[in-house]
Amino acid sequence: MNQTITDTNYNFPGQEAIYKGKVREVYSLKNDVLVMIASDRISAFDHILPKGIPYKGQVLNQVATMFLEATRDIVPNWLIGTPDPCVAVGLKCEPIRVEMVIRGYLAGHSAREYKAGKRILCGVALPEGMKENDKFPEPIITPASKAEEGHDEDISREEIIAQNIVPEAIYVQLENYTHALFQRGTEMAAAQGLILVDTKYEFGIKDGKVYLIDEIHTPDSSRYFYADGYAERQEKGEAQKQLSKEFVRQWLIEHNFQGLDGQQMPFMPDEFVDVITERYIELYEKIIGKPFVKADNSNIEARIEKNVVEFLTTQNLI
């Protein structure tokens, strides 16, 4: 029986605070060190689903680690190391309260807005005559304001600067980093027969310098299509074969749940949980290009505690 990790309550050496997000649990330690645990929780429409997904945290953490290591030449990032399959340890930065969403294709949220008749998204003009999943002439940045609770909201470049959420000079840096990271992710995906459709990046400030923080290019933060057959499916008006969390959203929509007031979260059968695990592992193997090695999940909580404490000690972080 595979255990899942859906809630933690550690007391690491030097611990000062805990923040529990929708999926990650972040432990703040002395010396501006963070221990970020990727749980097996899964969220959609800003709601946490009722069951954990075996190995999901491991997939997210290991995919994010690979991409953070592969993009250090573009932008400095927060990661110090990954002492456990589900854990990343890194530098504490002051988060910038904007998610830098970048889209190469008309898919997901942008497609839903387009279908509703919108031709301006976050201040960006969208071309007429597009079909769902068509490629944009150039990738577009459609930022979202980072909400403390509830839904993140679309916001334009002009609104970000006018509200002084971040100075214009810093925002220009974020745009440049976002385009460069998306280009690198696109190239790495293409090498594995995938299309990086859209994704989001989060940044922070430490000692006056911009750092890339959180995860990147994971199935929780990104959408991938299979390159093989993409053009034919578009030509025929068929749905694209994709690796992302969108299939979870679609399942919820089919069961009358989009996180709206009065809607009831549907029951998740074990068979659907197994499907989600399989899809996450499939994405890992496609994007990494190597078989997924399942960690020993017989006692996840004890394993994480042992690995984290050993890492903090050997790296002189406590």
* Residue 179: CATH number of its domain: 3.30.470.20
Determine, yes or no, domain membership for 26: no
β-sheet with 87-91: strand ranges across = 15-20, 24-29, 33-38, 87-91, 79-84
How far is it, in rounded angstroms, from Cα 225 to Cα 110? 16
Instruction: Tell whether the torsion through CA atoms of 150, 112, 114 and 170 is positive or negative.
Output: positive
Q: Give how many domains the chain has, as a whole number.
A: 1
Determine, yes or no, domain membership for 253: no
Average pLDDT over residues 68-83: 98
pLDDT reading at 51 higher than 90: yes
Max alpha carbon distance in the chain (Å)?
58
Residue type, 34: L
Neighbours of 135 (CB within 10 A): 16
Determine, yes or no, domain membership for 56: no
How far is it, in rounded angstroms, from Cα 129 to Cα 146? 31
Q: Tokens standing for 41?
A: 């929780």
pLDDT band (50, 70, 90) for residue 152: confident
Identify whether the C-beta of residue 92 lies closer than 8 Å to the C-beta of residue 131: no
pLDDT band (50, 70, 90) for residue 219: confident
Determine, yes or no, domain membership for 228: yes
Q: Which stretch of 148-162, 184-198, 205-219, 260-274 has the lowest confidence by average pLDDT?
A: 148-162
**23 Cβ contact list (under 8 Å, min separation 6):** 38, 39, 41, 42, 43, 57, 60, 220
pTM over 0.85: yes
DSSP state of 244: S
Determine, yes or no, domain membership for 54: no
Determine, yes or no, domain membership for 122: yes
Average pLDDT over residues 125-136: 97
Determine, yes or no, domain membership for 193: yes
pLDDT reading at 270 higher than 80: yes
CA distances from 145 to 177, 185, 245, 279 (A): 18, 23, 21, 29
The predicted structure's pLDDT at residue 1? 53
The predicted structure's pLDDT at residue 151? 61
227-254 pLDDT, tens digit per residue, is: 999 999 999 999 999 887 888 989 999 9
Determine, yes or no, domain membership for 238: yes
- Containing structural domain, residue 154: 95-243
